[in-house]
Amino acid sequence: MELTVGKFASAVNTTIRTLRYYEKIGLLVPGKKNDANQKIYARDDLKKFYNIQLLKSMGWPLIEIKQMLEETTYSFGEMVEMQEAVLLDKRNTINESLKMIARIKKVMNETGDLSNEDLMLLMNTIRLEEDQRMILQQYFSATTVDRIMPQNKRQQLAFDRLNKRLLSFFQASIHSGLRPDSQEVQRELEELFALIPVSRNELFHLDRPLDKPSEILKALLPDDMAEFFGEAIQVFYNNQFEGRGE
């Protein structure tokens, strides 16, 4: 089999432009010419083309396909194993992103359109839930943390509503110049804590004293909000302990 670029493109259902690009990057270079000095594709080129398409369908980028095919001892079996792991990881990432989008849309359907800032903050709180869990584990028992963090879709929606309210309130408080120890802020915290599905005794029985916002909290929120949130929470807990005579 010896075909010019046009006939080869037709035979393999691709375009001349694609074949020219493959040749340009050294991925598939015809090694023969006919009597008219035209480059021609032989049977080995056909086999290589289909190998390229196979690897492309598995998600390999062209530059890596080129490197693989240049190796004299490359193994399709090893490629399959490697790419399976990559694709599974991508699938997990996509699935988690779709779950996050579904949760965001539920909140948006309830509250209407969110501002860009509110939307990004809420998306980050969902994306970084494991980091939130790490923050809580610094202060509460594992059992209490499991009860606070959502375990099913119903709890996720309640948790997202709570986060939306918290983020919007603290953002508005900062913009309006309220102090973390103001009555408005502390009253809102009182109402928010009442919505958390754990007892007051669990909430106020800390495994360690509250300190300034951790690096994880600063990673979750803008610096000013992380600082404000940390101070407000600290004041709230101090007030609770004073009220109990501790």
Please give the angle made by the CA atoms of 192, 194 and 197, to the nearest 5 degrees: 105
- For residues 8-44, one letter each, b for 16 or more C-beta atoms within 10 angstroms of the residue's C-beta and e for the rest, the string is bbeebeeeeeebeebeeeebbebeeeeeeeeebbeee
Residue 40: beta bridge partners? 4, 32
Task: Provide the residue ranges of all domains of the chain, joining segments of one domain with +.
Answer: 3-74, 91-243
In this structure, what token pair is assigned to residue 69? 């095919």
In this structure, what token pair is assigned to residue 128? 């970084």
pLDDT score for 18? 95
User: Do 203 and 193 form a contact (C-beta atoms < 8 A)?
Assistant: yes
From CA 132, how far away is CA 127, in angstroms rounded?
10
Among 114, 103, 115, 125, CA closest to 221: 125
pLDDT score for 203? 72
User: Do 170 and 229 form a contact (C-beta atoms < 8 A)?
Assistant: yes
pLDDT score for 220? 63
Highest CATH level, class, for 3-74: mainly alpha
Among 241, 173, 168, CA closest to 201: 241
- The three-state secondary structure class of 3 is strand
pLDDT score for 216? 53
Residue 226 CA: distances (Å) to CA of 34, 121, 134: 71, 12, 16
Which runs of consecutive H residues, i.e. helices, occur in 151-222?
153-176, 183-194, 200-204, 215-220
145: which residues sit within 8 A by CB, 6+ positions away?
Answer: 133, 136, 137
Please identify every stretch of the chain with a pLDDT value under 50, giving residue numbers as ranges.
Answer: none
The amino acid present at 16, given as its one-letter code, is I
The amino acid present at 223, given as its one-letter code, is D
